[in-house]
Amino acid sequence: MKDTAILLIHCPDQQGILASVTQFLNKNNGNIIYLDQNVDRAESIFFMRVEWELDQFAIPREKISDYFETLIAKKFNIRFTLHFSDERPRMAIFVSKMSHCLFDILSRHLSGEWIVDIPLIISNHSDLEPVAKRFGIEFFCFAKDSKTKEEQEVKEIALLKDKKIDLIVLGRYMQVLSDNFVSNFPNEIINIHHSFLPAFAGAKPYHAAHERGVKIIGATSHYVTADLDAGPIIAQDVVRISHVDSIESLVRKGRDLEKIVLSEAVYKHLQRKILVFNNRTIIFN
């Protein structure tokens, strides 16, 4: 596998963008190994993800951003982010007492399914410290109540910055993060909510689903924003239930949904396949 560069692009739709971008890469000997694009016709916005090999590429990697800005982006009013395949994201996992999402993430990490570093796990309880130890990952406990939450978050943010974390995964972390916390990590916090959002936002969604008598339950992974459970949705999945399912049975069936949907979202993020626009996600192929 050669090293590659990845561009995520959006701009007002107009003639010639696709041709210009691909020509820019072709001319400079960038062998394109992935390209996915689409146009939102209603809002007239062009979206694109393109990935190309760096080894023959004429422009040195540290100058790509500058050249692309000058030669292409300005003309089309493009906003873009540039990533390199050899950048290894650094992920922190936040958990409370339930372990199923944590196990699923650590298993994928350890087995090499995901290319990511996980320097630490943070929790408001010590219950899952043994799991962290079993996988050899540092565990920090920041207990919180309404009085201590603010100062504890300050410490958490400092720790995360110190560890150079660029992705925070909330694996059933049963605490609401403050606006201040969230604003430090825009589109860098992924949560799993145990319902088919926007249905049953907030606390105890399985109880609410049972009470309402739905025939299908779901799970939703999303970027965390200041509005609770209202950030851009990354992935959702559902499972059929029936009148014979008790709340305990919903919780059991939901666990499998939650861990798979959360991990799918994290995978897409790590692959740089997500672009956020207007509180919605474009998930490239």
Catalytic residues: 229
Q: Does 1 bind a second copy (CB under 8 A)?
A: no
- In this chain, which stretch among 62-70, 173-181, 186-194, 255-263 interacts with a second copy, using CB under 8 A? 255-263
Chain positions 72 to 111 lying near a second copy, rule: CB under 8 A, are 99-100, 103-104, 107, 110-111
Total residues contacting a second copy by CB under 8 A comes to 67
DSSP state of 67: H
Calpha distance 58→54 (Å, rounded): 8
Residues 6+ apart with CB under 8 A from 259: 100, 101, 103, 104, 192
Residues 6+ apart with CB under 8 A from 229: 191, 193, 197, 198, 201, 202, 222
Q: Does 282 bind a second copy (CB under 8 A)?
A: yes
CB of 67 to a second copy, least distance (A): 17
Calpha distance 27→57 (Å, rounded): 9
Select 2 or 134, whichever has its Cβ closest to a second copy.
134
Calpha distance 165→188 (Å, rounded): 9
x/- letters, 138..177, toward a second copy (CB under 8 A):
----------------------------------------
Calpha distance 192→190 (Å, rounded): 7
Q: Does 37 bind a second copy (CB under 8 A)?
A: yes
For helices 247-270 and 100-110, angle between their N-to-C axes, nearest 10 degrees: 30
Chain residues binding a second copy by CB under 8 A are 15-16, 18-19, 22-23, 26, 31-42, 47, 99-100, 103-104, 107, 110-111, 113, 131, 134-135, 196-200, 212-216, 218, 232-238, 240, 242-244, 246-247, 252, 255-256, 260, 263-264, 279-283, 285
